[in-house]
Chains A and B, each alone.
Chain A
Amino acid sequence: NAGVTQTPKFQVLKTGQSMTLQCAQDMNHEYMSWYRQDPGMGLRLIHYSVGAGITDQGEVPNGYNVSRSTTEDFPLRLLSAAPSQTSVYFCASSPRLWEGLYEQYFGPGTRLTVT
């Protein structure tokens, strides 16, 4: 198993550009999520999905869209990039809608810079 994969590893965008961060998992996990990591802030939840066709907002959803058309993929779209979205983005997955019983597996991250 490749686990959770993310592409690209690095990306530089200009303000106003749009892009999609890709996330895929090959473990047949129901639950997937996106976090952003900023210095001194820990990780904060952007969006999550409990299964194909079902998504919901996390703590910091503004400026981001998600969709979940398959179990394996959970892309994160930046509609109009802003410098405040400069961050490291992590995708995570877990076997099911968990109650703390299941480990979340994190991808390697995407480092995004918006100029």
Chain B
Amino acid sequence: AQSVTQLDSHVSVSEGTPVLLRCNYSSSYSPSLFWYVQHPNKGLQLLLKYTSAATLVKGINGFEAEFKKSETSFHLTKPSAHMSDAAEYFCVVSNQAGTALIFGKGTTLSVSS
């Protein structure tokens, strides 16, 4: 069965410093992977997706993620955090049939000034 593990439930950074949100996945097939962001009391927005094309994926708002098959990882990074990046981030994998998204438990990103 497919699964994702977000290695940190909470990450705190200072504004202007790099962001690293870690995600490992488990899948018996070549997966599609996503990062979604949820701002407080809002719905979910797609940040970026990997679908077996380039392993380095660029998303919105300066975020990017690198698919590493050997490490079964899909970590999300941003060179310089902004206050508006404070939110909950979900690493997500699709099931093999493509009928469902399987969510990690989320990482809360806090950004201090």
**Residues of A participating in the B interface, judged by any CB pair closer than 8 Å:** 31, 33, 35, 40-45, 48, 50, 56, 58-59, 90, 97-101, 103-104, 106-109
Contact = CB atoms under 8 A, between A and B. Distances in A.
A104 B101 contact: yes
B9 A40 contact: yes
Which of the listed residues B45, B94, B98, B106 has the most CB atoms from chain A within 10 Å of its own CB? B98
Interface of B: 9, 31-32, 42-46, 49, 51, 90, 94, 98-106
Contacts of B98: 97-100
Nearest to B104: A42
B94 to A, nearest CB: 4
A90 B43 contact: yes
A77 to B, nearest CB: 20
Nearest to B33: A100
B105 A42 contact: yes
A55 to B, nearest CB: 11
B32 A101 contact: yes
Nearest to A102: B98
Contacts of A100: 31-32, 49, 51, 94, 98
B99 A101 contact: no
A101 B49 CA distance: 9
Given A100-B32, A103-B49, A109 B99 contact: no
B94 A43 contact: no
Nearest to B100: A45
Given A42-B103, A43-B103, A99-B98, 13 more contacts: A33-B100, A35-B101, A40-B106, A41-B105, A42-B105, A42-B106, A43-B101, A45-B102, A59-B100, A98-B98, A99-B94, A100-B49, A106-B43
B32 A48 contact: no
Nearest to B32: A100
B103 A40 contact: no
A109 B31 CA distance: 27
B43 to A, nearest CB: 5
